Chains A and B, each alone.
Chain A
Amino acid sequence: MNLLDVEDLRISFPTRNGPTEVVRGVSFSLGRERLGIVGESGSGKSQTGRAILGLTPPPGEARAARLSFDGIDLRGLAPRDWRGLRGKRMSMVMQDPKFSLNPVMPVGQQVMEGLRTHGTRGTAARKAALDMLEAVQIRDPERVFRAYPHELSGGMGQRVMIAMMLVCQPDLLIADEPTSALDVTIQIEVLRILDRLVGERGMGLIFISHDLRLVSSFCDRVLVMYAGRVVEELRAADLAAAKHPYTQGLLNCLPQIDGDRRPLPTLARDAGWAE
């Protein structure tokens, strides 16, 4: 059985001119693998990730023909049941640690929050949190445990985020641009941590990013989104053989260290792609 099945996911937001669909019929399934979702800003990739966790911000509305996680139908789940799933079975790493960590709460407390919610308390929770901080390659977990988010660098903050999301050992991790706010060399380190954890724990990972090159080097499979739809799905290794003109255009318009194409090819958008 697939870990996650999404069929005909639609997310709409009300506007003055009636509801606008930002995600229009996305379907995919996920096993215990690394799936990349790539697209430009506004393509609906982050909303897709949020909808899986039931985090579509109101007044937005998510509907799907099928949205099941490990056999559980996620549509119309009661808040109480969501609380049982989020954190413990599936969780999400947000883009920027500066905005997604609580600035007035020590890091250790934040990492333990999920454990406490799901029934691990006291010294057991403390130990699990410290072990997790160590697992994400934080050198001095005791110090970081007591630190506030502003005392950490961006790379450290993002590792704390990852630790926080993985401490309950979820089966599914959704990472929304987890490394976009980080420097390239730190980016690679964070990816290595994710890669190891996915491998060791057999997690399913959905990696959302705008960086086609990075995603293709990290994931097993890639979904390319454009204007709320999946325009192409392909194995990461076959990226060079992408068929859709949008995917090809995205690949082509990146400057390369070795390339000397002047002017760079730009993306000529075709109204037909959005149909």
Chain B
Amino acid sequence: MLKIDGLEVTFSRAGADPVRAVRGVSFEVAQGESYGIVGESGSGKSTVLRAICGLAPTTGGQITLEGTPLPAPRSPAFYRRVQMVFQDPYASLHPRHTVDTVLSEPLAIQGFERREARIEAALTDVGLGPDFRFRYPHQLSGGQRQRVAVARALILEPQILLLDEPTSALDASIQAEVLNLLDRLRAERGLTYVMVSHDLAVISHMCERLLVMQHGQAVEELSREALRARAASTDYTRRLLKASVGYTREDAPA
């Protein structure tokens, strides 16, 4: 459904060396699939998502949605099909907009009818309920904010959801709630996810296939079964797997 072929993202600034954030990354996501991208900070994993939704410049390669190359800038029709949830719910919601304003904006842009009913339904879908409609972000907890961010993305009834570390700013118990919510919504609506995280356990829980990235390049692609069997073919992935267990004292000194 979504195909990324040899994607390159280079940021160039006057008077500085250009930064090649993503260097030739390719992958394909099927309809209804949940695809994970794992890597450390600076590996370019978030930039891939941003490039898909047109927030980062595509300097090489091609992104196609059902065989059609994406227009630049992205069309409103694209955003009806593809929406993104950002990492930090403390930063991604406008502090002086109520939940109602946040949710109305995409509806107004896309010219949707029955806005009130849609807003209430979206809030109910993410487990908040219509009571939350006129609250400001500071009146919400971190988990509630991320639910609002998910509701904002889902209100246009997209087919693909791009999730950029949706739970890394949240406590473990809240993370479980948000992951469950995402899981349920995918099952109910047949959504396609592309999810970025630095946490292998989260990716293993959520995604059927995953791509490991390092220094802007794809290191290897694994299925969930291969990940669970620890069948990593590169050193880097093995190191990530080892680090995800926690600290081990018997390690040889560095």
A residues bordering B, Cβ < 8 Å? 40-41, 137, 154, 183-189, 191-192, 195-196, 210-214, 216-218, 249-250, 253-260, 262-267
Contact = CB atoms under 8 A, between A and B. Distances in A.
Contacts of B173: 40, 249-250, 253, 266-267
B183 to A, nearest CB: 6
Given A185-B243, A250-B173, A256-B204, 15 more contacts: A40-B172, A184-B240, A192-B251, A195-B249, A210-B172, A212-B172, A218-B246, A253-B172, A254-B172, A254-B201, A256-B205, A259-B205, A266-B173, A266-B177, A267-B173
B239 interface: yes
16 contacts: A185-B239, A188-B247, A192-B253, A192-B254, A195-B247, A195-B249, A210-B171, A210-B172, A212-B172, A213-B246, A214-B247, A255-B202, A257-B228, A259-B205, A263-B184, A264-B180
A252 to B, nearest CB: 8
A262 B183 contact: yes
Contacts of A250: 172-173
Q: Which 7 A-B pairs have the closest CB atoms?
A: A217-B246, A255-B205, A253-B176, A183-B40, A267-B173, A263-B180, A184-B243
Contacts of B201: 254-257
B40 A266 contact: no
B182 to A, nearest CB: 10
Contacts of A217: 245-248
B63 interface: no
B175 interface: yes
Given A40-B171, A256-B205, A262-B183, A189 B254 contact: yes
Contacts of B123: none
Contacts of B56: none
A186 B228 CA distance: 23
A266 B244 CA distance: 21
B247 A218 contact: yes
Interface in B172-222: 172-173, 175-177, 179-180, 183-184, 198, 200-202, 204-206
Interface of B is mostly: helix
B227 interface: yes
A261 B174 CA distance: 16
Contacts, number: 94
Given A187-B243, A256-B205, A196 B172 contact: no
Nearest to B200: A257
Contacts of A192: 247, 251, 253-254
Q: Tell me which of A184, A249, A264 has the highest count of chain B C-beta atoms within 10 A of its own C-beta.
A: A184
B41 interface: yes
Nearest to B243: A184
A264 B176 contact: yes
A186 B198 CA distance: 12
B171 A41 contact: yes
A137 B254 contact: yes
A217 B205 CA distance: 22
Contacts of A264: 176, 179-180, 205
B201 to A, nearest CB: 5
A41 B171 CA distance: 7
B78 to A, nearest CB: 31
A184 B245 CA distance: 10
A170 to B, nearest CB: 22
Contacts of B172: 40, 210-212, 250, 253-254
A187 B254 CA distance: 13
Contacts of A212: 172
Contacts of A256: 201, 204-205
Contacts of B171: 40-41, 210
Nearest to B236: A185
Contacts of A210: 171-172
Interface core residue of B173, B177, B240, B243 (most chain A CB under 10 Å): B173
A266 B179 CA distance: 10
Contacts of B254: 137, 189, 192
Interface centre among A189, A212, A255 (most CB of B within 10 A): A255
A182 to B, nearest CB: 8
A133 to B, nearest CB: 15
B179 A255 contact: yes
A257 B229 CA distance: 10
Contacts of B244: 184, 257
A196 B254 CA distance: 11
A40 B172 CA distance: 8
A195 B228 CA distance: 29
Contacts of B142: 41
A256 B253 CA distance: 27
